[in-house]
Amino acid sequence: METKYKPIMEFSKLTRIFHWVRAIAIFALIATGFYLGYPFLAPNNFSGEPTGFLYALMRSWHLIFGFVLIAVTIFRIYLLFTKECVMERRSFLDFINPLTWFGVIKAYMLFGGHPHLKGSYNPLQFVTYIIVLLLILAISLTGLVLYAHVYHEGFGGMIMPLMRPIEVLCGGLANVRLLHHILTWAFVIFIPIHIYMAVWNATRYPGSGIDTILSGVKFEKE
């Protein structure tokens, strides 16, 4: 008997767009951030004139992509409470279900098939993405503290009173910079694991993983 599948819209168009915008922003921030921490390249300047400000260019791109990440994250949090993310909110029901936890762990250990989910994410994914969201919020706040200490007027001056308590809580500006750097490494570690697991899920369970974040649709047996 032929097995029939039905399509289910798992991720909306905005969710998918925000995902890829955040991915590009994070990759750009990691690259420019490491350069700012260790400027290993410098343009040749044979004339002695103050030109070719590569460091300033990297700082500009770092700021641009930083604010893009903050803006997209704010809209992404808002989107979670709209009708476009009903499937994602249902993931909480899987998170609090011990049987789903057991089934997912068993599937990841190759002892069985993946359990049926009510939402978009299994419990492990749900916990991971909550942690990633908290990491984005933390690295954004530490980045804003550093920004306010360089740009004292305009937006930097406006947010300085809000950023000062965070600086004090971290124990000073040096600790803020160190924490910002450590949080960057958290993303460096997370990204290859995330890509591997997405490919693994898409390979082992067709219709999930990378497939859904591109098309937005997953397929389930009728």
Q: What is the pLDDT of residues 80-106, one digit of tens each?
A: 888 888 888 989 999 999 999 999 889
Q: How many CB atoms lie within 10 A of CB 107?
A: 17
- Is there a domain that residue 78 lies in? yes
pTM (predicted TM-score)? 0.87
| Ranges 133-137, 169-173, 200-204, 208-212: which has the least confidence | 208-212
- Is there a domain that residue 48 lies in? no
Q: Identify which of 124, 133, 89, 149 has the alpha carbon closest to the alpha carbon of residue 201.
A: 124
pLDDT of residue 83: 84
Structural domain that includes position 65? 5-39+54-221
Q: Identify which of 121, 120, 124, 32 has the alpha carbon closest to the alpha carbon of residue 69.
A: 32
- Is there a domain that residue 137 lies in? yes
CA 109, CA 67: separation in Å to the nearest integer? 39
Q: Which two tokens stand for residue 206?
A: 């067709």
- pLDDT band, very low/low/confident/very high, at 78 (cuts 50, 70, 90): very high
CATH number at residue 177: 1.20.950.20
Q: Crossing angle of helices 123-150/98-108, nearest 10°?
A: 90
Long-range contacts of 36-41 (CB under 8 A, 24+ apart): 36/62, 37/181
pLDDT of residue 46: 61
Specify the number of domains making up the chain: 1
